[in-house]
């Protein structure tokens, strides 16, 4: 969507605030022995407290409040009843609808003790997002975001999961434009003032950038068993630094 009035801006800020509060609560609750299903219940309780509901459930029939992906699972993981164990890498992907506005963010955390590879992988996803923010300006081309992400991931020696990408967001989860995480020379269209997009680098410790969907029909995993990290925020374009709505 494009924010062009105060009502839309307030609506997106409120949705972003619910995302941020939910993510912080989930990150704090990640520990050995807790199950992803319990984290999902916690997210649902926070949504209810804020008059929100799960956008993936409403739009796509997802049987969850939030997606929780563990280790080699990248995105859209269905929360299971398997207790988290030391060293697990956990992606928390939160996308509520709040009063008709949808915001989307994700973070990856590891259950202590964290392996050096997992720590560097998570840092890579976050650094790639930070670099993308230097390219996310009204008037600049969409493909500048992907160039920045791809360059940073390569610099850090990890694998960019090219089949997954960012997207427009606001009234629905997935809107135009597509925002690839790699440089796509044809995507020269400039970003414009007020445009709301989700930027979400996804990286793997493995060598293959290919992904696969598991038998549950939802969970997307790496093909070579590499662990994955995902970092995402919903941002709004300005002529200066983008406004991170889900921070």
230 annotated ligand binder: no
The string of pLDDT tens digits covering residues 37-55 is 999 999 999 999 999 999 9
- pLDDT above 70 coverage of the chain, percent: 100
pLDDT reported for residue 60: 98
50 annotated as ligand-binding: no
What is the dihedral sign for C-alpha 191, 196, 197, 198? positive
Confidence class for position 140, pLDDT limits 50, 70, 90: very high
pLDDT given for residue 180 in this prediction: 98
pLDDT at site 23: 98
Tell whether residue 81 is among the known ligand binding residues.
no
Q: What is the pLDDT of residue 3?
A: 98
So what's the pLDDT on residue 103? 99
Ligand-binding annotation for 175, yes or no, is no
Q: What is the pLDDT of residue 138?
A: 97
**Residues forming beta bridges with residue 97, ordered by sequence position:** 53, 102
SS3 content of the chain, % helix, strand, coil (to 5): 30, 25, 45
Sign of CA dihedral 160, 78, 24, 105: positive
* Residue 167 assigned to a binding site: yes
> What pLDDT was estimated at residue 171?
98
- 104 is an annotated ligand-binding site residue: yes
How much is the CA Rg of the chain, to the nearest whole Å?
Answer: 17
Tell me the pLDDT tens digit for each residue of 2-20. 999 999 999 999 999 999 9
Yes or no: say if 82 and 88 are a contact pair by the CB < 8 Å rule: no
Q: Give the pLDDT score at 57.
A: 98
Q: Round to whole Å and give the CA distance between 64 and 67.
A: 7
pLDDT in tens, 212-223: 999 999 999 999
- Closest among 141, 104, 112 to 230, alpha carbons compared: 104
Give residue 196's pLDDT: 99
Give the pLDDT confidence of 79-118 residue by residue, as tens digits: 999 999 999 999 999 999 999 999 999 999 999 999 999 9
Instruction: Check the annotation: does 233 bind a ligand.
Output: no
pLDDT at site 165 = 98
Picking from 176, 207, 188, 213, the residue whose alpha carbon sits closest to that of residue 77 is 213
CATH 3.90.230.10 applies to domain 6-242: yes
Q: How confident is the model over 144-191, as pLDDT tens digits?
A: 999 999 999 999 999 999 999 999 999 999 999 999 999 999 999 999
């Amino acid at each position: 969507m494009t924010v062009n009035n105060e009502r839309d801006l307030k609506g997106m800020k409120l949705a972003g605030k619910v995302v941020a509060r939910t993510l912080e609560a989930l990150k704090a609750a990640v520990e050995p022995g807790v199950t992803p299903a319990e984290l999902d219940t916690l997210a649902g309780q926070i949504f209810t407290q804020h008059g929100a509901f799960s956008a993936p459930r409403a739009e796509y029939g997802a049987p969850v409040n939030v997606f929780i992906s563990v280790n080699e699972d990248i995105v859209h993981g269905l929360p299971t009843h398997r207790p988290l164990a030391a060293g697990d890498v956990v992606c928390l992907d939160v996308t509520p609808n709040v009063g008709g506005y949808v915001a989307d963010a994700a973070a990856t955390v590891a259950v202590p003790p964290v392996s050096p590879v997992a720590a560097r992988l998570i840092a890579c996803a976050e650094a790639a997002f930070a670099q993308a923010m230097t390219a996310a300006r009204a008037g600049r081309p969409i493909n500048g975001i992907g160039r920045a992400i791809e360059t940073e991931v390569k610099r850090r020696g990890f694998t960019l999961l090219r089949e997954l990408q960012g997207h427009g967001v606001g009234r629905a989860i997935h809107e135009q434009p597509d925002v690839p995480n790699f440089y796509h020379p044809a995507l020269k269209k400039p970003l414009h003032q007020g445009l709301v997009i989700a930027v979400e680098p996804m990286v793997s410790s493995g060598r293959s950038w290919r992904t696969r969907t598991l038998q549950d029909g939802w969970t997307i995993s790496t093909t070579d068993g590499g662990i994955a990290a995902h970092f995402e925020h919903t941002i709004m374009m300005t002529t200066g630094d983008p406004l991170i709505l889900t921070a």
